[in-house]
Structure 1
Amino acid sequence: MISSFETDKLPQGYYKKVGTVLQRRDSSGEGQSLLLFLRDMGPIWVSAPASKTKCRFGGAIEPLVWAEFDLYQSPARLYLQGAEVKEDFISLRCSAEKLKSALRLYKRLSKTLMVGHESNNILILLWSSMLLIKENCPVDIVEYRFTWKLLKEAGLAPSLQYCVNCGSKLDSGARWTNDGLICASCSGTNKEDLDADALKSLRFAALLNHDKFIEWTGSQEKSSLYTDELKKLVTFFTDMD
């Protein structure tokens, strides 16, 4: 959904905002165009002018980096004037699995968010998810958690607790439909996709707070459950992409 450089201009002046670099587009001789995801501003395109010698902003404009950005809105466009790195997540670059997982989170946001719309809850979600990856939580569970919570922010997340058909609590198991999970009664003779233990694990993955999630994932064995369920979750983004 994020693709256009055309956004409503901010009032002319200086701004200082914390956020992260979602995308960077290089332009020969002109510097870079950055898609910053900023607190209180949401995603916004910023011009980072080139220096005659080297990049004046260094690693602060690399994707995945979090920084406090100094900005100036001119009559024509929004410029980056400076940046102080707060967290570079450099350790993720030492693991192909962690790096690919983090990049998938950023790619999903680049497809989902709208330029110029404040999205502080989602910015916090991204920050939390990056920390979870850094803390060595299983990346498949982190990606499932991130995706479900992102869908929840958009009002699209399938309930993990109640049948989408009759509203009864999903106690014994559930089956997937295009609209969400349905209970055993609504499934009829069809086989359930998820048993009670699998549903419980999905709820923990999606709903535990940050610290309890870290503790819980430490006891989880490797499973295809979260990868399989993630594939089902992403279908709920169809109308947004």
Structure 2
Amino acid sequence: MLYRVEGIVIRSMDYGEGNKIITLLTKTNGKLGVMVRGAKKVKSRHASLAQPFTYGEFVFFRNKGLGNLNHGEILESHHLLREQLDLSAYAAYMAELTDKTLQEDESGELLFEQLKAGFMAMQEDKDPQIISHLYEMRILDAAGYSPEFEFCVNCSSEQGPFRLSPHAGGVLCTRCARNDAGAIPMSEGAYKLLRLFSRMDLRRLGAIQVKPETKKELKKMMRELMDVHIGIPLKSRAFLDQMDKFSLE
């Protein structure tokens, strides 16, 4: 059967001497694997379509299993995401996170739109760490683990200050937090941003500037949420941690 889909390359791996297998996050068909024959050859007309983060239209034949690329057109190469180390690291993290959490053929239209918007935002010089946290929230949503930030998840109190309880799946009031040793204190700024992240569509992201100390808080809290509810080890995240370590030295 012939398919024509809009997709983003979230993984690209060598196969044999001259081929590549790409994993696409598509707008209409979820996550798909496609063989791109000859993609490693210098004169291949499909080589650029097999590059990580490429957004394009892909035409391929597929019965069961892998598709075989017949034709394609690049709609946005996202070359900056491959050329700049920090952007490449964050884009790789978002792509790997998508690949590891979304099942084959599972509906992924919302994540497709959010990933597409996230990659464009990074190319527009918006903060890649903030973009990655927004995308993590969308991953939590898609997995059914949307955190509750409006009221205490234990007693429903709306009276702050709150602490974040990753295991409880949201915030706890001061009284309830006494019974959760893992509850994380939050500054007012970090709490407001988490509430914003929980409902923000990446397609509507404007200019946003966050203080370094607040970004450090956000990273800690989002890491805890992702570890508790997603819990998938990612090579790309380990590389991000190495980058942070070197930037502090």
- Secondary structure of residue in 2 paired with 1:63: coil
How far did 1:146 drift? 0.7
- For 2:6, the equivalent position in structure 1 comes to 18
- The one-letter code sitting in structure 1 at the alignment partner of 2:26 is L
The letter for the 2-side match of 1:206 is S
Paired residue for 2:23, among 35, 49, 57? 35
- Per-residue CA distance 1:83-120 (angstroms, 9 max, x = gap): 10001111223421111001000011111010111210
* 1:184 aligned partner, one-letter code: T
2:176 counterpart residue number: 186
Task: Tell me whether 1:79 sits opposite 2:68 in the alignment.
Answer: yes
RMSD between aligned residues: 2.6
Q: State the secondary structure of the residue aligned to 1:214.
A: coil
Given that 1:144 and 1:206 are in contact with CA atoms closer than 8 Å, whether structure 2 keeps it comes out as: no
**Alignment-mate amino acid for residue 176 of structure 2:** C
CA positional deviation for 1:204: 2.2
State how far apart, in whole Å, the 1-side matches of 2:150 and 2:36 are: 46
Matched, 1:60 2:53: no
| Structure 2 residue aligned with 1:226 | 218
1:207 paired with 2:185, answer no
Residue in 2 that maps onto 1:237: 230
Distance 1:47 1:211 in 2: 30
1:91 paired residue number:
80
TM-score by length of 2: 0.81
Q: Aligned AA for 2:178? A: G
Gaps spanning 5+ residues in structure 1: where? 1-12
Q: CA deviation at 1:56?
A: 3.0
Q: Secondary structure at the match of 1:70?
A: strand
CA shift, 1:188, in A, is 3.3
Distance 1:58 1:232, change over 3 A: same
CA distance in structure 2 between the aligned counterparts of 1:91 and 1:172, rounded to whole angstroms = 41
1:144 matches 2:103:
no
- Amino acid of the residue matched to residue 199 of structure 1? Y
Which AA in structure 1 matches 2:34? V
Aligned sequence identity (%): 19
The offset of 1:19, in angstroms, is 0.6
User: Where does residue 237 of structure 2 map in the other structure?
Assistant: none
SS of the aligned residue for 2:57 comes to: strand
Equivalent residues, number:
227
Deviations for 1:40-84, whole angstroms, at most 9, x for unmatched residues?
A: 111111122227773230211111000000111257852101110
CA contact (8 A) 2:33 2:67 kept: yes
The structure carrying a bigger helix percent of its residues is: 2
Moved more, 36-45 or 172-181: 172-181
Q: Which amino acid aligns with 1:205?
A: F
